[in-house]
Amino acid sequence: MHLPCQMRCETAKPWETSSFAECSIHRFIRAIQVSAHEIGYCLRYKHMIVYNLALFLWQISFNFCSEHGYGFGDYQVSDVMNSTADALQTNTDSAETGAQQIRDAIRDAIVERRLSPGTKLSESDVGNLFNVSRTLARAALQALSYEGLVSVEKNRGAFVAYPSPEEARQIFAARRLVEPGILKEAATRITPSQIQHLKQLLLEEGRLMGERGQSARRAEIKASGDFHLMLASISGNLIMQRFMEELVARSSLVIALYGQSSVSSCGHAEHGDIIAAIERKDIETACGLMLHHISHIEADLDLREHKSFGLREAFER
């Protein structure tokens, strides 16, 4: 990082030259940036740390030169502050984008059931897979843990979450509360082109249902979830949209654990009925169909509590 420092002293002593001062400030600020990044400070705190400590270093240098009679008039501290802030902003934005891309990729793998509940997600493995530092991998896994998709256990690391039967019931109860409201809001804003987009999703979902193989199955599951996410997007409520992303992903975990048949992937015909009701402006019917649809998915889950046995008991039964 280049710092536009024009510090010039009146003597030629090596440790008092402008190049020495510039190099020292450069190394000092860079060390602060790296330290702040590694311990996980968010942007506003890293900016504050670097700015204040660089200002502190400038004050020391100014006092030293004033005390010993060296010239310091050409030094522009604002240039250092601005260039440092710009570099920090660029580096942090890049890091946050990288962590978000990793988070999105892992979330997609969970939604498509390519990652099963309980799968180990070590920081080193994630970092190597995406060719990033462990710091970025850790940030992505922490973000997923806030969404309930990853469980971080002390001294063990991170794992794809393993929802309990009670948690599964709560997830679908939340969907029954949230999705009719999203649908009503979407229905008041939906345009003919958006209806066509929903129909295209439905056609793609139907096409994938006719194909065989794991890749087609994963794509079908994603297309089913995309239907619900598209309605959330049409509603225009970004908070609800993000909430639905979490609910759809957590539903996929539950279905992977407790689903008994392909019904759990989301009924294709039921999606079509919902679109038809929206198109004819029959919102109450559409909401009723959505509730039935969510209950239909939950009904296919085996959420019974199963008694656990010891090793000997398990093999004697």
Shared domain check, 295 and 172: yes
Q: Which two tokens stand for residue 97?
A: 């984008």
CA atoms within 13 A on the CB side of 19: 3
Query: Which pLDDT value is given to residue 9?
Result: 42
* CATH label of the domain that carries residue 116: 1.10.10.10
CA atoms within 13 A on the CB side of 130: 26
Shared domain check, 189 and 143: no
Shared domain check, 60 and 45: yes
Residue-wise pLDDT tens digits, 72-101: 444 444 554 555 555 444 444 455 667 888
CA atoms within 13 A on the CB side of 304: 6
- Of the candidates 99, 79, 72, 85, which has an alpha carbon nearest to the alpha carbon of residue 33? 85
* CATH label of the domain that carries residue 259: 1.20.120.530
Query: Which pLDDT value is given to residue 171?
Result: 96
Residue-wise pLDDT tens digits, 214-243: 777 777 778 888 999 999 999 999 999 999
Q: Which range is least confidently modeled, 87-91, 108-112, 207-211, 228-232?
A: 87-91
Q: Which residues contact 183 (CB under 8 A, 6 or more apart)?
A: 231, 274, 278, 283, 286, 287, 290
Number of domains in the chain: 3
Query: Which pLDDT value is given to residue 92?
Result: 46
Residues spanned by the domain of 107: 99-160
Task: Answer yes or no: are the C-beta atoms of 183 and 298 closer than 8 Å.
Answer: no
Mean pLDDT of 4-15: 43
Shared domain check, 200 and 143: no
Rounded CA-CA distance 235/251 in Å is 21
* Residues β-bridged to residue 151: 159
Query: Which pLDDT value is given to residue 16?
Result: 45
Q: Which two tokens stand for residue 140?
A: 């992505």
